[in-house]
Amino acid sequence: MKSPELLDPAALEQAIATAIRAADAARLETQPRFRNVAVETKRDGSPVTEADREAERAIREILREAYPEHAILGEESGREGPEQARYCWVIDPIDGTIAFSRGINLYSTLIALVEDGETVVGLIDLPGLGERFTAVRGGGCQRNGHRVEVSRQTDLNRSLVSHGDPFCFETTGQGAFFERMAREIPFLRGYTDAFGHAQVLAGGVDVMVDLDLNLWDAAATRLLVREAGGECFVREFPSGKLGLVLGSPALVRELAEWFT
């Protein structure tokens, strides 16, 4: 299939439809293996399962067939496709493998299409909850086909604030950031991974701080938050890892000032 110009809304809708098909295929690999799969440890110390690998394989097959001239970057199998491709699909077959491997159903599948460095299609799928968040550039953010928006809360003292794993604040040199959150924010919760991102999109969580991320952890969220009417501040660390502050615009601006 020849890839059309993605500034065309019809082409964006075609791309999100492809992403949805890929997410459906990933569900067929992950759900039967949930609570029934062995866990291995990768070289970086993170967990991986057969479900991660098979879900990524299924996603790649669909994307490769639909857009053979696009590049694909995935957590488990790296990058494939033309080196100078204008378009790159960025995928994480199971975000929250720790949760998945422990039988906790708060894992997700992430799929994004990046055009010249900017995300134009984004999807977070939560198979264990039966929820899927989708967006195309300029089209708003939907949860299971219904429009959702971020919180408009402006008072940090009245906000439900989420964060990723505390050790990630230390590995990115932001230990003081976490200590300040723990000290000053009354309603601080550890809704980690893209599950936490999804709660921000629908306004349940007012703002989230998530650090030490790879591109596949962040690409879909960056678009989804903006299309849900929020802001997503991105901090790039010397390691190449990313930090996100996402949610209510007023709260994002306030917390972005807490980086050291």
Mean pLDDT of residues grouped by 10 in the chain (260 residues)?
Answer: 64 97 98 92 84 96 97 94 92 96 96 96 98 98 98 98 97 98 98 97 98 98 98 97 98 98
Q: How far apart are CA 91 and CA 56, in angstroms?
A: 8
Residue 188's DSSP bridge partners are 161
Contacts of 250 (CB under 8 A, 6+ apart): 152, 153, 154
For residue 181, what pLDDT is reported?
Answer: 98
For residue 7, what pLDDT is reported?
Answer: 65
**131, exposed or middle or buried, with CB in 10 Å at 0-12, 13-18, 19+?**
middle
For residue 1, what pLDDT is reported?
Answer: 46
For residue 6, what pLDDT is reported?
Answer: 56
Contacts of 233 (CB under 8 A, 6+ apart): 244, 245, 246, 252, 253, 255, 256
Tokens of 173: 């040199």
88 with 114: CB under 8 angstroms? yes
Local structure of 178: helix, strand or coil: helix
Mind listing the domains of the chain with CATH numbers? Answer: 9-139 (3.30.540.10), 156-256 (3.40.190.80)
Long-range contacts of range 4-12, CB-CB < 8 Å, 24 or more positions apart?
6/87, 6/113, 6/115, 6/120, 9/136, 9/138, 9/139, 12/120, 12/121, 12/136, 12/137, 12/138, 12/139
pLDDT in tens, 78-95: 999 988 899 999 999 999
Q: How far apart are CA 194 and CA 192, in angstroms?
A: 7
248 with 159: CB under 8 angstroms? yes
